[in-house]
Structure 1
Amino acid sequence: MSHKYKSKIEKLFEHPVSGNIDVKRLLSALEHYEVEVEISKHNKAKLLFNNKEFIMALSHSNDLSKDSISKLRHYLEEVGLTPDKL
């Protein structure tokens, strides 16, 4: 079952950047790896892991922009949640 979650994280690190990442499934995968996820009423996701916070705007289409994917990838690298470390 954890492979299902790991594959969602791996999509963030693909080259070229995937344009079809389902936000809900991604957030679920991050929660599986103990990232605290809080969705605000302003349609933003606050992620907290190892006392490091990341805030990401969510689109109404349930997809992430390439810019958001890039920023999220840098955050995950910073907190050590990369596919090779999961």
Structure 2
Amino acid sequence: MEINSKHKKTLDDIFETPIKSNISWSDIESMLIALGAEVSEGRGSRVRIVLNGVKATFHRPNPEKETDKGAVKSMRRFLTESGIKEVADTGETGNDEI
């Protein structure tokens, strides 16, 4: 599956060094959905995400719209564990099932 240029930019931003703190949470959610993630609401500001069988829970930033550096670092780990890290380089998931 190919991701569009906006999702690719969001993915690149997540893996950029130094860690960015101005990535919009809505852009991250949109990218995750494009990658085939199941995103569901939890209690309060919690968001449950399942991607390629890997589960994680994140807190949606509130009242800010941007994620902080800690959340970006956690998202990096989650995407790497989900096998998505290579998408940042190729633009393709490498998973024919998605």
1:76 has 2:79 as partner:
yes
Quick one: distance in 2 between partners of 1:39 and 1:21? 20
Quick one: distance in 2 between partners of 1:21 and 1:4? 12
Query: Structure 1 unaligned runs (5+)?
Result: none
Query: Structure 2 unaligned runs (5+)?
Result: 93-98
Aligned pairs (5 A) from 1:30-45: 30-45=32-47
SS in 2 for 1:55: strand
- Cα offsets for 1:49-70 (capped at 9, x unmatched): 1221011111211211111111
Deviation at 1:35, TM superposition (A): 0.9
Which one has more relative contact order, counting CA pairs under 8 Å at least 6 apart?
A: 2
Identity %: 21
Could you tell me which amino acid in structure 2 is paired with residue 33 of structure 1?
L
SS in 2 for 1:80: coil
Deviation at 1:41, TM superposition (A): 3.9
Give me the CA root mean square deviation: 1.5
Aligned residues: 86
2:5 counterpart (3, 6, 10):
3
Deviation at 1:40, TM superposition (A): 2.3
Quick one: distance in 1 between partners of 2:42 and 2:66? 17
Deviation at 1:45, TM superposition (A): 1.2
Deviation at 1:39, TM superposition (A): 2.3
